Amino acid sequence: MEKDHKNNIKVKILYDNEASEGFKSGFGFSCLVEGKNILFDTGGDLSTLIYNMRKFMVNPKDIEKIVLSHEHRDHIGGINIVNYCSKVDVFIPRSFSSQFKSWLSLHSNVILHEVCEAEEICKGVYTTGELGQSIKEQSLIVKTGNGLTVITGCSHPGLENILACASKFGEIYGLIGGFHGFCKLEVLKRIRLIVPCHCTMRKTELLNLYPKTSKKCSVGFTVEI
Ligand SMILES: [Zn+2]
Ligand SMILES: [Zn+2]
């Protein structure tokens, strides 16, 4: 059967602990969901983010939405990118500090959305809502012709909890982002695209365990989901 590429979307890694030649690395994570014009997280600093965006020929003016996973420096450090955007919707977990929220609301081009429960943020794209106890975090779910791809920041609420939440929206095809201390690697055996990034402690183990379905992450990498 011929694969339907029509609905497929590409994710570009803009910020990661590792970088391909010509790109800059930094401790943190950010990626662009191309086709949906969504920036997920902003990495640890603005200059590295902008450098990599230019290299990728991504124009900040084309970003329509920014989704921030959680309020850690390595994910929100490049938030000044809003100064380079046109009108932009910014989705943050409701638990973000009032200091951060009031700083964002000073920007007249920013439309702030505080996320609590799982919801659709645009056609075929969902947030898990804020999950977790001590460190609250939201993950992004993108629906394509292949199924759902889950994009995580650090997975502080636990990757299994995030996947359980995401699977309410359908079958999970892909998983991209920081998995942090996640260790029940066998849980991912049915996922057809695994891209462990950023803070994933068992990155090498994952790549070795799933050589056919996993891909090495670095800035400059584009993956079709
Ligand atoms: Zn974190
Ligand atoms: Zn992190």
Q: What is the pLDDT of residues 155-173, one digit of tens each?
A: 999 999 999 999 999 999 9
Tell me phi and psi for residue 70, to 5 degrees. -160, 165
Distance of alpha carbon 205 from alpha carbon 140, whole angstroms: 24
DSSP state of 168: G
| Ion ligand 1: residues, Cβ under 5 Å | 72, 154
Alpha helices in the chain (DSSP H): 46-55, 73-76, 98-105, 159-166, 203-209
Q: What is the pLDDT of residue 8?
A: 77
Q: What is the mean pLDDT of the chain?
A: 96
- pLDDT tens for residues 102-156? 999 999 999 999 999 999 999 999 999 999 999 999 999 999 999 999 999 999 9
- CATH code at 10-224: 3.60.15.10
Which ligand has its closest atom nearest to the C-alpha of 134?
1
CA of 75 to the centre of ligand 1 (A): 7
Q: What is the pLDDT of residue 135?
A: 96
Q: What is the pLDDT of residue 170?
A: 96
Confidence class for position 7, pLDDT limits 50, 70, 90: low
CA of 119 to the centre of ligand 2 (A): 23
Which ligand has its closest atom nearest to the C-alpha of 137?
1
CA of 156 to the centre of ligand 1 (A): 7
Q: Reduced to 3 states, what is the DSSP secondary structure of residue 17?
A: coil
CA of 154 to the centre of ligand 2 (A): 5
Confidence class for position 2, pLDDT limits 50, 70, 90: very low
Mean pLDDT of 167-191: 96
Handedness of CA 164, 169, 171, 174 (dihedral sign): negative
| Residue for token pair 């997975």 | 155
The residue type of 35 is: G
